[in-house]
A and B are shown apart, each in its own frame.
Chain A
């Protein structure tokens, strides 16, 4: 009965032999060496930030030079644009425009992404759901989304609902498509292992399928957010009395090209900002789930 008399000495023996061969500190020098070599500069935060700002700086410089002699009617100077922004802020229009536009984007994005996630889950997980829903959804997706505008305005008037719904339509499809496709391709062996250990239905979904598709879900959400801003401006250009899109049309009618420049730059900043937020979330999720 040798095996029972000394189990404590035996098993830790395994630990030490495996432990030394898998010593993580030994694996690192190789990578550190690489980092010290060619890859070093491009992985420094300050360099990344600086290099990313290079092109905008050049554009700004060219803009300054080009607008110096020209008329403000076609190309306002950066200073003019800044002043237009300050002016809008002082009138209180900036805050209200940004607030209403962000609210529309968030509402529409939330509704569209939520529906995309749940319907994408149904289509990706259930054969029957796939058969019943995916042809219809594929047909709806083929409709250029702006074609909904006249219908939405007739049905919901020019209020908030029509805009939020249009944005929701824009946000829905990227999420729906990525989620349903990703769920179809979850490793069958993992799903089977989950089943074998007694998981099914929602528990199986939460334990195996959802974590497996999280990276795709996030990239779907990022796409959807970009779409949401796109559709926001479209909705506000067509019919509204407030918001950044309205400000664009209004400025066009009044010949305020400086304001148009300002709003375009503001849209770029806002879009990048919300995208970065999703990016942060993505990083957290990736650390947690892979």
Chain B
């Protein structure tokens, strides 16, 4: 492979668009019978700039996937509205591409054909095939392009799913824990790869993650979703909104990030065992705050 990532992918001008959340809330109907609706999200106010990468952190079940699904038009808010590029989202939006929390690959299609599903409609055949091959190469699966999903590992399936979302070259890229099933080393490689692709094809990204270090490494801003501590109102909302200093790619070991890391871990309710520890682990592989 003699081309660099930017040369292999860059096709046209940036499609990055803005996302605006205005008072977004989501309550689910009670499971059985009557009773009050169960609020999961409430009062989400956030303006995401075109080309910005925003990481969404939060404990399991706090509504991260729900927020992402609302943004992609797969679910709809019960209050408030989401606007992409100024126009409200209603139904599945062609400007967005989503990488689901589960790989969701079609079992009867090869890795190559699954990635091809992500291509925008009307892509010329040859161009599409080339883009798919490039992406499969980038996620390190070129040897497995002809394999079916049941013949590859969970992490490989997740990378296939990431490639499928990237194939769309969307204005808004929604990634739900895209690296959750990967080992630490592959995870770091995929994070760098995502940064490479974003510098070649800038798009707006909402990235859901459990991993504070991943958020610090990839995002321009970090949203921490949480329920209020005093339980005054049910449903999670933005508890912290941090701007990550510097530009991507960041030094994984910088002391500035370590301080932010500590604040985020606090927000997630994780005991840090002394702040010095944060600096140490920040220099090596990511720390999983499960």
Which residues of A line the B interface, CB within 8 A? 1-4, 7-8, 10-15, 18-19, 22, 24, 189-190, 192-198, 207-208, 211-212, 214, 288-290
Establish whether residues A207 and B195, one from each chain, have CB atoms under 8 Å apart when the complex forms: no
B149: min CB distance to chain A, Å: 10
Smallest CB gap from A27: residue in B: B151
Query: Any chain A CB within 8 A of the CB of B186?
Result: yes
Give 30 pairs: A residue, B residue, CB < 8 Å, sorted on A.
A2-B249, A4-B196, A7-B196, A8-B2, A8-B4, A10-B189, A11-B139, A11-B140, A12-B1, A12-B140, A15-B140, A15-B142, A18-B144, A22-B144, A22-B156, A24-B151, A190-B106, A192-B74, A192-B104, A193-B104, A194-B106, A195-B92, A196-B92, A197-B118, A197-B164, A207-B106, A211-B106, A211-B108, A212-B108, A290-B108
Query: Any chain A CB within 8 A of the CB of B162?
Result: no
Contact of B5 among A2, A7, A18, A192 (CB under 8 A): A7
Which residues of chain A come closer than 8 Å to B193, judged between CB atoms? 7, 11
Which residues of chain A come closer than 8 Å to B107, judged between CB atoms? 290
A6: min CB distance to chain B, Å: 9
A-B CB proximity, top 9 nearest: A14-B140, A193-B104, A289-B108, A3-B192, A15-B140, A211-B108, A7-B5, A8-B1, A196-B98
Establish whether residues A189 and B108, one from each chain, have CB atoms under 8 Å apart when the complex forms: no
Establish whether residues B140 and A198, one from each chain, have CB atoms under 8 Å apart when the complex forms: no
A19: min CB distance to chain B, Å: 5
Query: Any chain A CB within 8 A of the CB of B236?
Result: no
Establish whether residues A193 and B100, one from each chain, have CB atoms under 8 Å apart when the complex forms: yes
Establish whether residues A198 and B94, one from each chain, have CB atoms under 8 Å apart when the complex forms: yes
Known contacts A4-B5, A18-B140, A22-B152: A11-B117 contact under CB 8 Å: no
CA distance A193 to B2 in the complex (A): 34
Which residues of chain B come closer than 8 Å to A194, judged between CB atoms? 106, 117
Query: Any chain A CB within 8 A of the CB of B45?
Result: no
Establish whether residues B156 and A207, one from each chain, have CB atoms under 8 Å apart when the complex forms: no
Which residues of chain B come closer than 8 Å to A14, judged between CB atoms? 139-140, 186, 189
Which residues of chain A come closer than 8 Å to B249, judged between CB atoms? 1-3
Which residues of chain B come closer than 8 Å to A207, judged between CB atoms? 106, 117
Which residues of chain B come closer than 8 Å to A8, judged between CB atoms? 1-2, 4
Smallest CB gap from B72: residue in A: A196
CA distance A7 to B249 in the complex (A): 14
CA distance A264 to B72 in the complex (A): 62
Q: Most A CB atoms within 10 A — which of B140, B151, B186, B193?
A: B140
Q: Mark B183-209, 1 if CB is under 8 A from A, else 0.
A: 000100100110110010000000000
Contact of B92 among A3, A190, A198 (CB under 8 A): A198
Q: Considering the complex, which residues of chain B in the window 56-86 have a beta carbon less than 8 Å from any beta carbon of chain A?
A: 72, 74
CA distance A7 to B6 in the complex (A): 10
Query: Any chain A CB within 8 A of the CB of B132?
Result: no
A4: min CB distance to chain B, Å: 6
Establish whether residues B97 and A22, one from each chain, have CB atoms under 8 Å apart when the complex forms: no
A152: min CB distance to chain B, Å: 40
Which residues of chain A come closer than 8 Å to B144, judged between CB atoms? 18, 22
CA distance A160 to B164 in the complex (A): 53
Which residues of chain A come closer than 8 Å to B152, judged between CB atoms? 22
CA distance A212 to B117 in the complex (A): 16
Establish whether residues A198 and B1, one from each chain, have CB atoms under 8 Å apart when the complex forms: no
New A-B pairs, 12, CB < 8 Å, besides A193-B100, A195-B92: A3-B196, A4-B5, A4-B6, A7-B4, A11-B189, A11-B193, A12-B140, A13-B140, A22-B156, A208-B106, A288-B108, A290-B108
B176: min CB distance to chain A, Å: 11
Query: Any chain A CB within 8 A of the CB of B141?
Result: yes
Which residues of chain B come closer than 8 Å to A10, judged between CB atoms? 189, 192
Establish whether residues A197 and B117, one from each chain, have CB atoms under 8 Å apart when the complex forms: yes
Establish whether residues A11 and B138, one from each chain, have CB atoms under 8 Å apart when the complex forms: yes
Query: Any chain A CB within 8 A of the CB of B125?
Result: no
Query: Any chain A CB within 8 A of the CB of B137?
Result: yes
CA distance A195 to B2 in the complex (A): 36
Smallest CB gap from A199: residue in B: B117
B182: min CB distance to chain A, Å: 10
CA distance A78 to B61 in the complex (A): 73
CA distance A1 to B199 in the complex (A): 12
A2: min CB distance to chain B, Å: 8
Establish whether residues B189 and A18, one from each chain, have CB atoms under 8 Å apart when the complex forms: no
Q: Considering the complex, which residues of chain B in the window 101-155 have a beta carbon less than 8 Å from any beta carbon of chain A?
A: 102, 104, 106-108, 117-118, 120-121, 137-144, 148, 151-153
Query: Any chain A CB within 8 A of the CB of B26?
Result: no
Establish whether residues A15 and B143, one from each chain, have CB atoms under 8 Å apart when the complex forms: yes
CA distance A211 to B113 in the complex (A): 14
Which residues of chain A come closer than 8 Å to B42, judged between CB atoms? none
Which residues of chain B come closer than 8 Å to A288, judged between CB atoms? 108
B145: min CB distance to chain A, Å: 11
